[in-house]
Amino acid sequence: MEVKGNVTIGTYNENPITVVTQNNTKVNVQPQMGVNPSDSTEPKSNSTVDSRPVYFNKDAVAKVDLCRVIMSLREAGAFIDGAGQKSRQKDVFAAFSKILNTDLSNYDKALSEGRKKKLPITVFDNLENAFKQYESDKE
């Protein structure tokens, strides 16, 4: 394969890439994160941030309510896949399972039970109130 001109190489991290040219010359390339617009949805590595694990607090919010919030965001189109399409439910919940270190693989069962038991849907009012409190604290 022969490549002429500029080449954009997308990576998921900031590790350098070694490119071997046609005449076997090795060139080290430092990728530029977010250069390719088609990769704009990919997470960017930020090694300078001191991040700690995040856990779901089941004592503060019921799992069914967490599932309702995630599903509502998904249905509103907040999450897309690599092709720019609405993400599949199972992919969204798998991602949140990783982020929150909790098992959400039974999200459909939790939502179904909430519907069958006619559990009140107060989570959105609670979120609105919590955000209003946050905003008033900033004033």
Distance between start and end Cα atoms, the chain: 60
* Location of structure tokens 């997308």: 10
pLDDT digits (tens, 9 = 90+) for 61-101: 999 999 999 999 999 999 999 999 999 999 999 999 999 99
Cα–Cα distance for residue pair 77/33, rounded to 1 Å: 25
Residues 49 and 37: beta-carbon distance below 8 Å: no
Residues 19 and 51: beta-carbon distance below 8 Å: no
Runs of H (alpha helix) within the chain: 63-75, 89-100, 107-116, 123-138
Residues 17 and 28: beta-carbon distance below 8 Å: yes
Cα–Cα distance for residue pair 71/77, rounded to 1 Å: 10
Instruction: Provide the pLDDT for residue 27.
Output: 52
Confidence of residue 44 (pLDDT cuts 50, 70, 90): low
Is the per-residue pLDDT at 117 higher than 70?
A: yes
Residues 125 and 110: beta-carbon distance below 8 Å: no
> What is the residue type of 7?
V
Residues 70 and 93: beta-carbon distance below 8 Å: yes
Confidence of residue 49 (pLDDT cuts 50, 70, 90): confident
Give the residue with greater pLDDT, 6 vs 35. Answer: 6
